Amino acid sequence: NLLLEKELSEKFVVSPASFKTLGDELMLNVKLSEKDVPNDLLSFLTSKGEVSHFVELIPSANDIFIQAIKNN
């Protein structure tokens, strides 16, 4: 798991995630860059093992507004 987490952190922005699993699975939040698409992440992950859970977090209108204010 540590090797995969290291590889992921070289390609994407990763942070710890917390949710219940049945086994000792690697759990991470992965933020894609603007040039990446979810399929890039899934292709990478499926080449390394089985993906048991995947949820796309879409920013809320409030999150987008706050980011726009920070950028200006």
Confidence of residue 44 (pLDDT cuts 50, 70, 90): very high
The domain total for the chain is 1
Q: What is the predicted pLDDT for the residue at 70? A: 92
Task: For residue 1, give the nearest of 30, 26, 18 by alpha carbon.
Answer: 26
Angle in degrees, CA 33, 29, 10, rounded to 5: 55
Res 65: pLDDT: 93
Q: With contact defined as beta carbons under 8 Å apart, do 41 and 12 qualify?
A: yes
pLDDT bin (cut points 50, 70, 90) of residue 22 is confident
Annotate 3-41 with b (16+ C-beta within 10 A) or e (fewer): eeeeebeeebebeeeeeeeeeeebeeebeeeeeeeeeeb
What range does the domain containing 55 cover? 2-71
